[in-house]
Structure 1
Amino acid sequence: MNFIIWIVVGGILGWLASMVMRTDAQQGMFLNVVVGIIGALLGGWLLAPLFGTGTINQNDFSLPSLFVSFLGAVVLLMIVNLFRRGRVR
């Protein structure tokens, strides 16, 4: 059951990050899930130690962990935009 929740929450976080970065029209549902989950991994490595919390990948579904996972997804989209377009939107 945690796996399904992880996929759904990752998809929502990826979708929200794509809305913030204005890449929503270029991504589908599958890419939103991938961005949410990989962004949570990135947020776990970079941001979780700064905030002192976990991420959705660590089965921590608290508000701070959702925020860290969301920020990780935004950072991931910034990195992708930097390599694809040569600039961050």
Structure 2
Amino acid sequence: MGILSWILFGLIAGAVAKLILPGKDPGGIIVTILIGIVGGLLGGWISTSVFDGAGVSGFNLASFVWAVVGSLILLVLYRLVFHRSRS
């Protein structure tokens, strides 16, 4: 699956991750979109490198799940880092 597909998945995955982890995030919608895009790329990389690409072969449910997982990881890390720097 190409990088453009992961970016598209990332846009959608960022929105889904925000629905799963609601709350006030610093940076607003732009940061959430960027987290989603990078999270989609992270999910693709995790799946390809750790599981040898298992289930990531195009626009399918497994690919979307990996994009959401990557977005959730980044969203949690972003909240932890930003919250600590403000305290």
TM-score where L is the length of structure 2: 0.66
Structure 2 residue aligned with 1:38: 38
Structure 1 stretches lacking a partner, 5+ long: none
TM-score where L is the length of structure 1: 0.65
Partner residue of 2:59 out of 55, 61, 70: 61
Structure 1 residue aligned with 2:18: 18
User: Shift in Å at residue 8 of structure 1?
Assistant: 5.1
1:73 aligned onto 2:68: no
Between the two proteins, the alignment pairs up a number of residues equal to 78
3-state SS of paired residue (1:53): coil
Percent of residue pairs identical = 27
Q: Which has the higher contact order (CA 8 A, sep 6+)?
A: 2
Structure 2 stretches lacking a partner, 5+ long: none
